[in-house]
Amino acid sequence: MELRHLEYFVAVAEELSFTRASRRLRVVQSGVSTVIRALERELGAPLFDRSTRDVALTDAGRALLREARATLDAAQAARDAVQEVVAGIRGTINLGTMTGLPLVDLPGLLGRYHLEHPEVTIRLRAATSGTSGLAKSLVDGELDVAFLALADSPPAGLAARELVVVPMVLLVRGDHPLAGRERVRLTDLAHLDFVDTPPGWGNRVIVDRAFAAAGVERRVTVEVANLGAVPDYVHQGLGVALVPDWDLSCADDVHPIALSGVDLRWTLSLATSGTRRPSAALRALLAMVDQYVRASP
């Protein structure tokens, strides 16, 4: 088994298409097919299901994918170590973030990084799947680093450190019956219409657990895959919302109310693989992050 075999396999697994994988690898499709067949013969198991119009990973293929990525990462780390000595920092960083995240000056961070390390390519993925999707991509090796809103300890295989912790507040429109209150309890919010992010987002996990623990039912009538856009839907009268108390862009008639009787806090963390050694390029980025985190209120 050669690294080239694993590179071809990962390309097909990620593209789920021999045609797209061949374009990505810049080799003829027959060459990709030949390498995959040779790898399957060596391993003694089919790696892809080709029985339908679409290509799909078999159980054996899924088992190989994580190990193949780890092997390629290790090989790249070895190359990076040599290149760092010979020609400075080079490579590629796959960075994941949630949509609508104002607590990190991401353009400023990446702009400075590019200025200092112009030979490094950064691929930025703003994931609508929230923390759960980003964490899975980190574990699977699709991402090298990600900003996550963890409600618990990081999943197995990840390492994370806290960047910012902020309390959560209730947003209501000025004509809502709760408007003008300084504090509200979860029991005051029973059966109200809520605007929230989809399941799997860190803030949604925190709020769902709090209501379940209090035995209070609520209705989520609008799900928005962008936390920064939630106040806009509150402004339109579509519901109330529980959000982190950061500098959200709210209309004049949308007001925050503190919570009473429960301590809900939202935590922004920076996560990396706990099993793969970070490249020189990634270590340089991690060293800069704290300078671009905006303080909480």
Q: Rg of the Cα trace of the chain?
A: 23
Q: What does the alpha-carbon distance between residue 219 and residue 46 come to, in Å, rounded to a whole number? A: 46
Q: Please state, in angstroms and rounded to a whole number, the distance separating the CA atoms of residues 62 and 39.
A: 14
For the segment 278-292, what is each residue's pLDDT rounded down to a tens digit? Answer: 888 899 999 999 999
**128 Cβ contact list (under 8 Å, min separation 6):** 99, 198, 225, 226
The predicted-structure confidence for 201-218, as pLDDT tens digits, reads as follows: 999 999 999 999 999 999
Question: Full-prediction pTM beyond 0.75?
Answer: no
Q: Above 80 in pLDDT, residue 249?
A: no
In sequence order, the 6+-apart residues with CB closer than 8 A to the CB of 179 are 172, 173, 255
Question: What is the reported pLDDT for 212?
Answer: 94
In this structure, of 83-92, 113-122, 158-167, 212-221, the range with the lowest mean pLDDT score is 83-92
For the record, the structure tokens of 67 come out as 């190990």
Of all residues in the chain, the percent with pLDDT exceeding 90 is 59
Distance (Å) of CA 17 to CA 29, 44, 183: 10, 22, 54
| Contact partners, residue 98, CB within 8 Å, separation at least 6 | 126, 127, 130, 131, 134, 147, 148, 149, 201, 227
